[in-house]
Amino acid sequence: MTEIGSFIELQFPQGLEYYKGDNGIIRLNSGRAAIWHAFRLTGCKSIWIPYYQCDTVRDFLQRKKVNIKYYHINREFTPIDIKASENEAVLLVNYFGIMTVKRMKELSKEYEHPIIDNSQAFFCEPLLGCLNVYSARKFVGVSDGSYVIGREAGRFIDGYEQGYSSDTAAFLFQRIEYGCEGKTYQARMLNEHRIDCEDIKLMSKLTRTILDGTDYQYIKKKRKENFLYACGLLDERNKLDVLQHYSDDCIPMVYPLLIEDDGLLDRLLRNKHFQGHWWSYLLNEVGADTVEYWLSRYMIPITIDQRYGKEELMHIAQLCNYT
């Protein structure tokens, strides 16, 4: 029965969810859970995943007793040593959200059971014939949430419990009043701990309500503007060619900056640009001559999201170009 009366709760616009409907779409609690669900749908015995990937994905798959095989990438972010059989899935990552649909389609054609990891590319069009995974919280202010899009994506969902996120979502409100340090950071880490410990669940009602009331066109516009502005400021020093797989249909998550300067991250942190090297655990797991080691040691994901503009990016660029 619908509740009537009592206090007024938070209200959001409705009907704006980017991936609408239920045909070939399933909503889950996290990107790592979405990848496992996609793998489960393939019916495969093993999955190939890149070394250059968040360890939470690997850890979740291991908890689910999945047989994992690993592959390397080159400096063009192309897989170089996958030898997948017909009963093995392959996870292909749209790194930083700067890979075109065409690029991901070309990569996927090589394999029988491709899973497209668009966790860093929320707005990348899902590919037909593939299972496509998306993570909401890298692009929208939510505490969790993911999508799997593809044929028969809804299989197995009757066995998943409903997720709840409001108990650990306070950091989203605290960020507005207190900033992202101190008690806000502690509250956020409680949410991270929840996700780390949580099994696969259906997307929480709170997360879906926020996603259904978000202005996605504004997000797309600002991220693209900020990314291209960052290119103008930083491309000259960047060891990565961030435009090699980019086109106008890309909406990046970050601007991936690689300057071979071990002191750069500390300089940014001292000036309250809160970022970090992605997946530094790899420094202890891969050889120093690998691309993964190089990326993990030096690449810094520069913030280009919809909260910011030219002034903030200029400040960051000045810090990065300081020698």
First to last CA, the chain: 64
Same-domain status, 234 and 196: no
Q: Which of 186, 211, 236 is the last residue of a domain?
A: 211
pTM, to two decimals: 0.95
Report the number of distinct structural domains present in the chain. 2
What is the pLDDT, as a whole number, of residue 323?
46
Which strand ranges, in their side-by-side order, compose the sheet holding 201-202?
67-71, 46-50, 88-93, 113-117, 131-135, 146-149, 25-28, 201-202, 161-162
Same domain, residue pair 57 and 179: yes
Among 308, 317, 282, 314, smallest CA distance to 296 is for: 282
CATH of the domain at 156: 3.40.640
Residues 70 and 194 in one domain: yes
16 falls within a domain: no
- Which of the listed residues 211, 244, 272 is the one where a domain comes to its end? 211
Indicate if 127 and 247 belong to the same structural domain: no
Same domain, 198 and 83: yes
Give tens-digit pLDDT for 148-163.
999 999 999 999 999 9
* Domain-embedded: residue 8: no
Residue 59, domain member (yes or no): yes
Closest-CA residue to 255 (of 179, 318, 316, 175): 316
DSSP letter at 79 equals B
Q: What is the pLDDT of residues 88-144, one digit of tens each?
A: 999 999 999 999 999 999 999 999 999 999 999 999 999 999 999 999 999 999 999
Residues 272, 127: contact at Cβ < 8 Å? no
- Pair 55, 187 in one domain: yes
Mean pLDDT of the chain: 95
- Label residue 322 by pLDDT band (50, 70, 90): low
Q: Are residues 180 and 259 in the same domain?
A: no
Give me the CATH number covering residue 234: 3.90.1150.10
Residues 181 and 95 placed together within one structural domain of the fold: yes
Asked if 160 and 283 sit in the same domain, the reply is: no
